[in-house]
């Protein structure tokens, strides 16, 4: 089961996404998801002198890797929508300018 809640208190809003599934499936799913993100550069990989290996991560550290990517992805998508919106506004403004010019006789 998946749920999402949005709670506002004072000047802060908390977004919670929740997925309930068996422990075995959660371990498999989150493990592979975290490993994919890890292999694509997310998470703390340590240093060249002291690297951190994926197999050494705790479950919480794996979830943190996923969270890092989820936050980045949500920001990328919000920015993309802002760009899309600005293109529509620019097109509308351009059309209004063109229409105004067309009134010249």
Q: What are 38-74's pLDDT values in tens digits?
A: 999 999 999 999 999 999 999 999 999 999 999 999 9
48 within 8 A of 35, measured Cβ to Cβ: no
Both tokens of 44, joined, read 């703390």
79 within 8 A of 73, measured Cβ to Cβ: no
**Which residue in 31, 33, 35 sits closest to 59, CA to CA?**
31
Tell me what pLDDT residue 66 has.
Answer: 97
What helix, strand, coil percent values describe the chain, rounded to 5? Answer: 60, 15, 20
Q: What is the pTM of this model?
A: 0.79
pLDDT digits (tens, 9 = 90+) for 90-104: 888 888 888 888 888
The Cα 105–Cα 102 span in angstroms is 8
């Amino acid at each position: 089961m998946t749920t999402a809640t949005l709670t506002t208190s004072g000047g802060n809003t908390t977004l919670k996404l929740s997925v309930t599934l068996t422990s075995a499936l959660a371990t498999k799913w989150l493990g592979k998801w975290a490993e994919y993100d890890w292999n694509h550069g997310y998470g703390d990989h340590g240093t060249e002198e002291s690297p951190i290996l994926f197999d050494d991560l705790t479950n919480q550290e794996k979830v943190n890797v996923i969270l890092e990517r989820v936050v980045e992805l949500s920001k990328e998508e919000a920015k993309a929508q802002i760009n899309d919106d600005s293109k529509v506004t620019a097109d509308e403004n351009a059309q209004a300018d063109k229409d105004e010019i067309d009134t010249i006789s």
